[in-house]
């Protein structure tokens, strides 16, 4: 029995990804094999592919997916053959099957489809730790959130509205801003050269009564960093959780002081997932919001495994909205 997987042997553009046929792996002690039915596509996948986040080569790609357990190794007594599960932050998801430690999986409720789980787990858990642990929102805040029409952004818009938080978003086009507002953003502004050069300063001052934002959630990176610092309130928090425009080249303590003694933090989902029990609890919080129709998962792009290069091109060109998935 063989499976098809995506592999890279060098870092580079989308074309370095190759489809490879290989024997279907068998789980060892403490592991299970998941037959994948849906695979998530995330910006972090492009960082792994380009080498921005280096991997040992050769390597598989893809962090997120969902499917059905079809083989179980010794020492696993909390999962069964045929059980539906999801995962994120586990390398090698661009495949027809994957071997994972049983502790890396979350059980899926009946009301969450495999496609929804593959599209939402990484992004939804990201919003969870951003809003509840990185800078804990209690309601009533006005916050700035870049890339508000992306996969994480649209979930953040809905979650912020539920928390009674006024989320001020940015996006690359008016159509994307309309989407962010439709999902709960209080306002959304086009992020163009004029905006990056300070063109939104007056609008931000008006929205915050001249006080600045207590927190800026920024997954864009290099191009928005200076703008974000200037938009913060004194003692505010800059949360860097992505590098869509490239990595921030340097963080100067003097610049943080000049911006108002602000805080800079670079959290990762992997750090939170390493905490015992956090992953399933976070997934359950997300699934509860989905069951209550507070959060809807927008799967706006679907690709086949053979079209993975196009999926990456679309994502890097910022022409996607909401979530993208691959069907193996």
Alpha-carbon gap, residue 198 to 42, rounded angstroms: 29
| Nearest C-alpha neighbor of 301 from the set 49, 87, 40 | 40
Q: For the chain, what are the domain ranges?
A: 2-120+270-327, 139-266
Angle at 115 between CA 113 and CA 121, to 5 degrees: 90
pLDDT, one tens digit for every residue, the chain (328 residues): 899 999 999 999 999 999 999 999 899 999 999 999 999 998 889 999 999 889 999 999 999 999 999 999 999 988 899 999 999 888 999 999 999 999 889 999 999 999 999 999 999 999 999 999 999 999 999 999 999 998 899 999 999 999 999 999 999 899 999 999 999 999 999 988 877 777 888 899 999 999 999 999 999 988 889 989 999 999 999 999 988 778 888 899 999 999 999 999 999 999 999 888 899 899 999 999 999 999 998 899 999 999 999 999 999 988 888 789 999 9
SS3 category, 35:
strand
**For residue 71, which phi and psi values (nearest 5 degrees)?**
-160, 145
Does domain 139-266 match CATH 3.90.79.10?
no
What pairs with residue 2 in β-bridges? 23
The tally of CA atoms less than 13 A away on the side-chain side of residue 303 is: 21
pTM (two decimals): 0.88
The CATH number given to 2-120+270-327 is 3.90.180.10
Element (H, E) at 250: none
Extract the runs of DSSP E, i.e. beta strands, from the chain: 2-8, 18-23, 31-41, 59-60, 65-72, 84-87, 97-101, 106-107, 142-145, 166-171, 187-190, 213-218, 232-240, 263-265, 299-304, 323-327
Asked if 149 and 184 touch (Cβ cutoff 8 Å), the reply is no
- 139-266 and 2-120+270-327 share a CATH fold: no
């Amino acid at each position: 029995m063989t499976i098809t997987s995506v592999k890279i042997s060098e870092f580079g553009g989308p074309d370095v990804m190759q489809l490879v046929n290989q024997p279907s792996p068998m789980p060892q002690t403490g592991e299970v094999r998941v037959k994948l039915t849906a695979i998530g596509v995330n910006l972090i996948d492009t960082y792994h592919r380009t080498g921005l986040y280096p991997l040992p080569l050769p390597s598989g790609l893809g962090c997120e997916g969902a499917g059905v357990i079809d083989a179980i190794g010794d020492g696993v007594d909390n999962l069964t053959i045929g059980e539906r599960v999801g995962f994120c932050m586990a390398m090698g998801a661009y495949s027809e099957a994957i071997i994972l430690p049983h502790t890396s999986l979350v059980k899926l409720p009946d009301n969450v489809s495999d496609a929804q789980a593959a599209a939402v787990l990484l992004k939804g858990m990201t919003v969870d730790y951003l809003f509840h642990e990185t800078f804990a929102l209690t309601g009533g805040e006005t916050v700035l959130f870049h890339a508000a029409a992306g996969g994480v952004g649209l979930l953040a818009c809905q979650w912020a509205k539920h928390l009674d938080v006024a989320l001020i978003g940015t996006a690359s086009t008016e159509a994307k801003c309309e989407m962010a507002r439709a999902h709960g953003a209080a306002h959304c502004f086009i992020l163009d050269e004029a905006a990056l050069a300070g063109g939104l300063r007056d609008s931000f001052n008006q929205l915050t009564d001249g006080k600045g934002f207590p927190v800026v959630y920024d997954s864009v990176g290099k191009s928005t960093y200076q703008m974000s610092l200037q938009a913060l309130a004194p003692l505010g928090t800059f949360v860097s959780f992505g590098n869509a425009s490239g990595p921030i080249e340097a963080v100067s303590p003097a610049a943080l002081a000049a911006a108002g003694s602000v805080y800079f933090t670079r959290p990762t989902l992997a750090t939170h997932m390493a905490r015992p029990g956090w992953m399933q609890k976070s997934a359950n919080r997300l699934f509860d919001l989905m069951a209550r129709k507070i959060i809807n998962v927008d799967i706006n792009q679907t690709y086949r495994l053979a079209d993975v290069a196009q999926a990456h091109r679309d994502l890097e060109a910022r022409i996607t909205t909401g979530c993208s998935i691959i069907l193996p």
